[in-house]
Chain A
Amino acid sequence: MTTLEISLTVDAKGLSCPMPIVKTAQAIQRVASGQLLEVLATDPGSVKDFAAWSRSTGNELVASSQEGGVYRFVIRRK
C-alpha cells in the first residue's frame, strides 16, 4: 500500500451545505491530475454529498473517515 501524499487541504469545518462542495470544486482545479486533495468538514450531510460529488465529477473518493466530529475526505483528481 502506498502512503497518501496530500497535495492540498481544504478546511471546510463549520461550513454547511453546499459550501464544502463549492470549496472542493474550486480547490480541485489547483491540484494536478492524479494528485490528492484532502477536505475536512463538520457537516454530517457531507458524507453522502462527497460520495455523490465524486460520482458526478469522476474524481475518485480515495478515503472517507470521521474522527471527533470531523469528516475527512481524500479525493484523487481524475
Chain B
Amino acid sequence: MSLLTEPGTATETRSPEPFAYDGPAPSEPEAPTKELIIVNWSGEYDRVMPTLILASSAAASGVRTKVFVTFWGLLPFVKDQRRITGENWMQKMLSFMQRPGIHHVKLSKMNFLGMGPWMMNTLSKKYHVASPAELLEACQALGVEFIPCQMTMDMFGLKPEDMIDGLGEPAGAATVVELMANADASLFI
C-alpha cells in the first residue's frame, strides 16, 4: 500500500527527460571566433597600409576580418590596368585625376608630384616592408573579406568587372552597421 501508486496525488512528479543524447561526445567548448570590421574610407598609401596590415594580422591571428571599402577607399581595389572608369565625363574625370589600382596609391601629404611615394617605396624596399599589393595578396590568402560600397561604385561608375577578383558582394551602410554592432572591434580608417 504505497501512497505513490495512488493516482492523482501531489507526490507524483514528472521525471526529467531521459538522457538520450547519442551524438559525438561534446568536446572542450571552443572560444567563439572574434570579429574585426574595418571601414576603409581612404585610397591613400598612409591609410591603405594600416588597413591592410591590421586586416592581415587579424586574419593571421584567427580573427574573422571584414573590410568595407568605400569612397576613395574603393580605388585601390580597382584593377591596376583600368585607367579611365565610369560612363559620363565627370566619372571619367575623377578616375583621370586619381588613378585607381593598388599600385597607384598616393600619400595624403608630402606627395610632391610622386616624389613622396617614390621615397616611401624606396624606404619600404630598404627596410623590407611589404608593398600594398603584397599585403592585399596576403589578406586575400588569409581570407579577409573585402566588401565594396554599392553606392560609391554607382556614383563613381565602377562596374563589378572594374574591381579586382575575390571581393565580396557590394553592400550598403546598413550591412556595415550590423557588422560593426556585432563585431568585437571596428575601425574607421
Contact = CB atoms under 8 A, between A and B. Distances in A.
Contacts, number: 45
Interface in A1-56: 14-19, 21-22, 24-26, 52-53, 56
B128 interface: yes
Q: Which interface class (under 10, 10 to 19, 20 to 34, 35 or more) fits B?
A: 10 to 19
**DSSP class of A's interface residues: helix, strand, loop or mixed?**
helix
Nearest to B61: A56
Measured as residues with beta carbon below 8 angstroms from the partner, the interface class of chain A is 10 to 19
B60 A24 contact: yes
A57 B61 contact: yes
Interface in A53-69: 53, 56-58
Contacts of B141: 26
Nearest to B30: A58
Question: Could you say which of B57, B62, B128, B134 has the most chain A C-beta atoms within 10 Å of its C-beta?
Answer: B57
Interface of B: 31, 53, 56-57, 59-63, 127-130, 134-135, 138, 141-142
13 contacts: A14-B128, A16-B127, A16-B128, A16-B129, A17-B57, A18-B56, A18-B60, A19-B138, A22-B138, A25-B142, A26-B141, A26-B142, A56-B61
Given A14-B128, A25-B61, 20 more contacts: A15-B130, A16-B127, A16-B128, A16-B130, A17-B53, A17-B57, A18-B56, A18-B60, A19-B130, A21-B61, A22-B60, A22-B138, A25-B142, A26-B141, A52-B61, A53-B60, A56-B63, A57-B62, A58-B31, A58-B62
